[in-house]
A and B are shown apart, each in its own frame.
Chain A
Amino acid sequence: DGGITQSPKYLFRKEGQNVTLSCEQNLNHDAMYWYRQDPGQGLRLIYYSHIVNDFQKGDIAEGYSVSREKKESFPLTVTSAQKNPTAFYLCASSPTVNQPQHFGDGTRLSIL
């Protein structure tokens, strides 16, 4: 079945450590996105990519980095510069930039 796969489902980070969240899609979508969800808040856009080898900062990009070397993959690295990384991270994709986004099941990141 086609879809968006995020892994791992749960992730723990030590202080000063970088961690990478995986997002893979087999929908042949051009655009991919990363959001952060905090309790009681809506989703906030971290980074997005409309085409392979290109990506743009969203509203809260500081402390995060991404790459888009393949169409189907858009990994997110949470760096040690992100001082409050505990959140639920959601990856999404869409066929083109103007079409609805489809979401993965998320990765919950916590600090040890």
Chain B
Amino acid sequence: GDSVTQMEGPVTLSEEAFLTINCTYTATGYPSLFWYVQYPGEGLQLLLKATKADDKGSNKGFEATYRKETTSFHLEKGSVQVSDSAVYFCALLLFTGGGNKLTFGTGTQLKVEL
């Protein structure tokens, strides 16, 4: 079945460090890919998306490129801030005809320290 695998956390970085959170997927078709962010006690917010191979999603300094050849969608940011501390979820959306389904990874917690 379809699945998303994320690197385990927590990831702890100093402010202004470079961030990479790895995400790989398995899907039977051609999914759309997403990164969501969850701040403590809140719901998920859509961070960025990519709908086809080689698309780059970007938002708030975060970027991720849809790599079909490596089935990956790694999240990157050049300089993290304390306010970026949250849990990040990679997800894929596949329309199967019987309905769509958003499949999530288990989430990666990011902690940014001064």
- Could you list which residues of chain A lie within 8 angstroms of chain B, going by C-beta atoms? 4, 6, 31, 33, 40-43, 45, 48, 50, 56, 58, 90, 92, 97-98, 100-106
What is the number of contacts between chain A and chain B, taking CB atoms within 8 Å?
A: 55
Question: Interface size of B by Cβ–Cβ distance < 8 Å?
Answer: 23
Select B95's contact among A6, A42, A98, A102, beta carbons within 8 Å: A98
Q: Are B93 and A42 in contact (CB under 8 A)?
A: no
Q: Are B100 and A42 in contact (CB under 8 A)?
A: no
Q: Are B46 and A97 in contact (CB under 8 A)?
A: no
A105 to B42, CA, bound (A): 5
Can you name 23 A-B pairs with beta carbons within 8 Å? A4-B43, A31-B100, A33-B102, A41-B107, A42-B4, A42-B89, A42-B105, A42-B106, A43-B44, A43-B102, A50-B99, A56-B98, A58-B101, A92-B44, A98-B32, A98-B93, A98-B95, A100-B46, A100-B49, A103-B43, A104-B43, A105-B41, A106-B43
